[in-house]
Amino acid sequence: MVGTHIAVSSGAVPRFLKRFEEGYGRLGRTESILGAAAAHHRLVWIHPFVDGNGRVARLMSHAILLESLDTGAVWSVARGLARNVDAYKGHLAACHGTRRSDLDGRGNLSAEALSSFTEFFLRTCIDQVEFMEGLVQPDRLRTCMLLWAEEEIRVIALPPKSSSILEPALYRGELPRGDAASVVGAGDRHARRSGSSSRRRLRGDGCPACFLRR
């Protein structure tokens, strides 16, 4: 029993989890984003573990959004939910309730409460995106990184055109080795040398774009 919610019996857990997988395991990209909130509550409602169900649900939501939105784990909805824990728990408790009228969905649980939680969940996601955008300031970080790379190239600490490799890595998270040669307009050997030198210098202490290595 969690608050006023009595979870399903242990013997019924496998059956409910199978239905959970059928409902949320084959969604498209947009449906996965919208369904992340519903899946979050439904897993908590099933309550398959003795302890740690909320943590598992938050980890699952983080993983769903990581895959659906390719977030690179720069932001996490779990942080936003932790910052609004009272509202978060209040929404979950409301979702545990039965439907309030004949117009409140077709199942046993309240569709209206689930819709309200979904809006809260997605607004929390947007809040975390905006928070990290303001903290990282990607345009400013790009300028800082390119200025640093130009200085390193000038003192021959980096090969020419190394900044051409660093810039796509900043926005895409990585640069496939096969793309490096075309980016710097050089042969494979020179491209590999530019990439290796850039990675080594970024791990050093003198880079003003040191946020990258964290």
CA dist., res. 133 & res. 135, Å (int)? 5
Residue 5: helix, strand or coil by DSSP? strand
Would you state the pLDDT for residue 172? 64
Residue that the structure tokens 């369904």 belong to: 35
- Contacts for 6-15 with beta carbons within 8 Å, 24 or more apart? 7/45, 7/46, 7/47, 8/46, 8/47, 13/46, 13/48
Write the CB contacts of 44 (distance below 8 Å, at least 6 apart in sequence).
Answer: 53, 54, 57, 92
Strand partners, 5: 2
The answer to whether 161 and 194 have CB atoms below 8 angstroms apart is yes
Walking along the chain (214 residues) 10 residues at a time, the average pLDDT comes out as 84 95 91 94 94 94 92 90 95 92 87 96 96 84 85 84 75 66 56 53 48 41
The full set of domains in the chain, from first to last, is 10-136 (1.10.3290.10), 138-213 (no CATH)
Element (H, E) at 121: helix 111-136
Residue 168: predicted pLDDT: 72
Neighbours of 121 (CB within 10 A): 21
